[in-house]
């Protein structure tokens, strides 16, 4: 992807986060269009069409974690881990939630739909400073997941936490 497309993505996420803090929520597509115009691009689709890559490209995978309780999921992922909700979807009123969460470059989808994800899945997440994250999470501990750091873990110091649905998240600062 070209630099300006990444720039538009970052600006759109910031726009959504800032508006969300003031109680205004917009879908990601609208945030992308607005961010593209604010950054001087004709529109997001036109500029993206001009950036046809010379070969297929892939982005990082977005894991889908199964949830069974929306309130517990929000308490854990938003209140405790500090993720923001990018968007939410239901096929119809009363249907299970499907939501995309983000914190920095970490993107996770949560789904209440049977068949999406498997409880007990494991995510490995690279972090810039596992000790600072440990300090942050320790200030508002979650009853199910007191974070501890394993200094001897393969790959580098690792903090493992478990969400309310038995999904395991390993935050690691890889050794150089």
- Number of Cβ within a 10 Å radius of residue 158: 21
Statement: residue 1 has pLDDT above 50: no
Quote the DSSP letter at residue 76: I
Digit-coded pLDDT (tens) for 70-107: 999 999 999 999 999 999 999 999 999 999 999 999 99
Higher pLDDT, residue 149 or 34: 149
The distance from CA 46 to its chain's CA centroid, rounded to whole angstroms, is 27
Give the whole-angstrom CA distance, residue 35 versus residue 48: 13
**SS3 call for 87:** strand
Handedness of CA 32, 77, 157, 155 (dihedral sign): negative
23 Rama sector, left if φ>0, alpha if ψ -120 to 50, beta otherwise: left
Digit-coded pLDDT (tens) for 123-169: 999 999 999 999 999 888 788 776 789 999 998 999 999 999 999 99
């Amino acid at each position: 992807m070209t630099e300006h497309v990444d720039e538009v993505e970052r600006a759109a996420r910031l726009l959504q986060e800032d508006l969300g803090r003031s109680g205004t929520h917009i879908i990601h597509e609208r945030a992308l269009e607005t961010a593209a115009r604010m950054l001087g691009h004709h529109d997001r689709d036109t500029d993206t069409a001009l950036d046809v890559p010379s070969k297929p490209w892939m982005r990082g995978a977005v894991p889908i974690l199964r949830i069974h309780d929306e309130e517990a999921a929000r308490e854990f992922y938003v209140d405790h881990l500090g993720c923001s909700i990018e968007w939410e979807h239901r096929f119809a009123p009363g249907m299970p939630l499907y939501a995309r969460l983000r914190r920095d470059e970490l993107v996770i989808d949560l789904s209440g739909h049977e068949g999406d994800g498997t409880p007990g899945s494991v995510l490995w997440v690279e972090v810039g400073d596992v000790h600072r994250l440990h300090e942050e999470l320790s200030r508002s501990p979650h009853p199910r997941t007191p974070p501890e750091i394993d200094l001897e873990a393969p790959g580098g110091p690792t903090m493992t936490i478990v969400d309310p649905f038995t999904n395991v998240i390993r935050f690691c600062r890889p050794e150089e």
